[in-house]
Amino acid sequence: MNQPYAVTAEFYDLLQAEDQLAVVDRLADRWFGTPRVGVLDVGAGTGLATFRFAQRCDLPLHAVEPSASMRSVLLSRLATRPDIRPRVRVHAAGIQELGLRAVADFGWCLNTMGGLDAGARRRALAALAEALVPGGVAVVQRPPATACDGRRGLPSVELGGDVYTGDVTSAPVGSAGVRWCFRYRVVRDGELVRQETETFDGHLVSEERFDAELRAAGLTPTGADSPDVVVVRRVGVGTLRPE
Ligand SMILES: C[S@@+](CC[C@H](N)C(=O)[O-])C[C@H]1O[C@@H](n2cnc3c(N)ncnc32)[C@H](O)[C@@H]1O
């Protein structure tokens, strides 16, 4: 069986980086502040946000990315940046397997929680809290609360005369799940050259339940943003960050 993101990694930046970076920049402008300890990117993917954070501060960065396919894009990006490399530690496992302690006062986890089942989510949130210093802040995208049948197109990008494009369909699975199917297409002169697909399963969690899970992990919700973002603060004394 293929590893998760084995197909998607090839197309992720080409088709999704522009939209994703617009979200990263908007959220970071509002919530990044002035960290003083370090920055933690949970589910760093191809490193889009990690690199933005490296431009915003001179602190150590922890990029947590278990998928070898996504990580290889991140590492290729780092390969050409000797100025940033000494500060970025790449962790090749899920956050819940790392045992990071108090390495950051700014955490980030976008587009990742929805893929974790209840047990993995509980461990991941506990590990995120442990990785933050008391008073540290994290921007976390909630898992989806609902699912319905739908389809949306991905952008079309021209590359050497070929058009790279695709779409995502979503469908409910039972009462608490969702399945996303990503189809990527390469089209030349109107003819399909190749098509690749990858399917991901997600887990639905109501806002109230996710807030309760955050609190149980020692993360207090303090703010909200879109898309489905909750801003949390790690409980405990020793706040290093201004409000
Ligand atoms: C949809 S991608 C999003 C990547 C990036 N955050 C972005 O928004 O562009 C989700 C990423 O989370 C990673 N991931 C999945 N489970 C994880 C876990 N337990 N800890 C850290 N990362 C995880 C996946 O390998 C994948 O690269």
Whether residue 175 sits in one domain with residue 129: no
Nearest Cα residue to atom 4 of ligand 1? 45
Ligand 1 atom at minimum distance from 94 CA? 20
Whether residue 212 sits in one domain with residue 198: no
Nearest Cα residue to atom 9 of ligand 1? 45
Residue 204 has a pLDDT of 98
Asked whether residue 242 is assigned to any structural domain, the reply reads no
Note the pLDDT tens digit of each residue in 141-194: 999 999 999 999 999 999 999 999 999 999 999 999 999 999 999 999 999 999
Residue 243 has a pLDDT of 45
Whether residue 88 sits in one domain with residue 25: yes
Residue to substitute in 112, 142, 170 for testing ligand 1 pocket (most ligand atoms within 8 angstroms of CB): 112
Burial class of residue 82, CB neighbours in 10 A (0-12, 13-18, 19+) = exposed
Asked whether residue 76 is assigned to any structural domain, the reply reads yes
Asked whether residue 184 is assigned to any structural domain, the reply reads yes
Asked whether residue 194 is assigned to any structural domain, the reply reads yes
| Residue 165, token pair as written in the block | 């494009």
Is the CB–ligand 1 distance for residue 45 below 6 Å?
yes
Is the CB–ligand 1 distance for residue 5 below 6 Å?
yes
We report the CATH number of the domain holding residue 223 as 3.40.50.150
Asked whether residue 241 is assigned to any structural domain, the reply reads no
pLDDT, mean of each 10-residue run, the chain (243 residues): 90 98 98 98 98 98 98 98 98 98 98 98 98 98 97 98 98 97 98 98 98 98 98 79 48
Domain count along the chain: 2
Whether residue 222 sits in one domain with residue 155: no
Is the CB–ligand 1 distance for residue 70 below 6 Å?
yes
Asked whether residue 3 is assigned to any structural domain, the reply reads no
**Nearest by Cα to 141 from 71, 210, 212, 201:** 210
Cα(163) to centroid(ligand 1), Å: 27
Domain around 174:
150-203
Asked whether residue 20 is assigned to any structural domain, the reply reads yes
